[in-house]
Amino acid sequence: MGIPRSHPRYQSLMLREKLADGLREGLVHETGLIAHGRGEAFDYLIGEETIEAADDAARVAAAQLLLADDPVISVNGNAAALTAKECVSLAKTVPAKLEVNLFHRSKGRVRRIVSELKKYGAERVYGLNADSLIPGLDHDRALCEETGIFGADVVLVPLEDGDRCEALKKMEKTVVTIDLNPLSRTARAADVTIVDNIVRAIPNIERWVGELRGKEEEMRKIVKMWNNEKNLRNVLSYISKRLNSLQVYP
């Protein structure tokens, strides 16, 4: 679109471009643009970088995915528009299954997201043959595949809706999420919440997968020691300290 690299908000504007393209290509739902705006606001507050608390969570996320029997990465429209390539790469590295799961479900959009993931090398993508229902949700939002999310023990659900996150928890799954809003219901319901932008978080989880692979004992220890509530509190305290130290006119 011709955004100059020197623009101080280059990265952020590029992400907006990707979402706008995603909307035109039928990957992203209109409301996805609004959800992204909420995310951007929180990204501004953390300084648009991976903070220590988020890196700690990404490490636990990697351990959970590696220790899982049947890990699944759930991909929605925004995740596909921003990180299709990175999600495919992470799924191959773990390895984990990929499933397209939409809040505003339409067969056409599921199909488009599946082909986007395949474009980046995904071999099998779940979601088109939804044959199971997550209990406690209305029909469309509950749809998933029995051999995908329904049967998974660990699910990575970035940018997830609070209701569905809670419903997955009730199914006794280990839920890992990426959500820039540390106060959202999703952030609070998940077992592991990475408060970071998905574009930084997915590659960071993959980096940790590389570091932790084979270190069973270390992974079990960090999973056992993990306290998500405490981590979210650290994020909030980071944000408030940061805001207090910021000068309006530097």
| Contact residues: ligand ATP, CB under 6 A | 35-36, 38-39, 42, 82, 159, 161-162, 178-181, 184-186, 197-198
Which of ligand ATP, Mg ion, none does residue 38 bind to, with CB < 5 to 8 Å depending on kind? ligand ATP
Question: Burial of 26 by CB count in 10 Å (0-12 exposed, 13-18 middle, 19+ buried)?
Answer: middle
Which of the residues 97 through 136 are near Mg ion (CB under 5 A)? none
Which of Mg ion, ligand ATP, none does residue 175 bind to, with CB < 5 to 8 Å depending on kind? none
Cα separation values, 166 from 56, 138, 163, 194, Å: 23, 13, 5, 16
Q: Quickly tell me which residue has 């990175």 as its tokens.
A: 86
Contact segment (CB under 5 A) with Mg ion among 30-38, 157-165, 197-205, 210-218 equals 157-165
Nearer to Mg ion, 111 or 185 (CB): 185
Which of Mg ion, ligand ATP, none does residue 215 bind to, with CB < 5 to 8 Å depending on kind? none
Residue nearest to Mg ion (CB): 161
Q: Assess 137 for contact with Mg ion (CB under 5 A).
A: no
Nearer to ligand ATP, 114 or 159 (CB): 159
Q: Compute the distance between CA of residue 25 and CA of residue 176 in angstroms, rounded to an integer.
A: 28
Q: Assess 179 for contact with Mg ion (CB under 5 A).
A: no
Mode of pairing for the β-strands spanning 71-75 and 154-156: parallel
Nearer to ligand ATP, 154 or 202 (CB): 202
Torsion of CA 26, 101, 207, 185, to 10 degrees: 110
Q: Compute the distance between CA of residue 64 and CA of residue 58 in angstroms, rounded to an integer.
A: 10
Q: Total residues at the site for Mg ion (CB under 5 A)?
A: 2
What residues does 194 pair with on adjacent strands?
A: 178
And the tokens for 184? 């959202």
Nearer to Mg ion, 186 or 197 (CB): 186
Which of Mg ion, ligand ATP, none does residue 136 bind to, with CB < 5 to 8 Å depending on kind? none
Nearer to ligand ATP, 68 or 180 (CB): 180
Q: Compute the distance between CA of residue 51 and CA of residue 131 in angstroms, rounded to an integer.
A: 39
Q: Compute the distance between CA of residue 103 and CA of residue 15 in angstroms, rounded to an integer.
A: 21
End-to-end CA distance of the chain: 32
Which of residues 116, 145, 160, 161 is near Mg ion by CB under 5 A?
161
Cα separation values, 109 from 28, 31, 55, 60, 105, Å: 8, 14, 32, 31, 7
Please, what is the minimum distance in Å from the beta carbon of residue 31 to ligand ATP? 7
Nearer to ligand ATP, 99 or 219 (CB): 99
Contact segment (CB under 5 A) with Mg ion among 76-84, 138-146, 153-161, 175-183 equals 153-161
What is the rounded radius of gyration, in angstroms, for the C-alpha atoms of the chain? 18
Q: Assess 160 for contact with Mg ion (CB under 5 A).
A: no
The site for Mg ion (CB under 5 A) is made up of 161-162
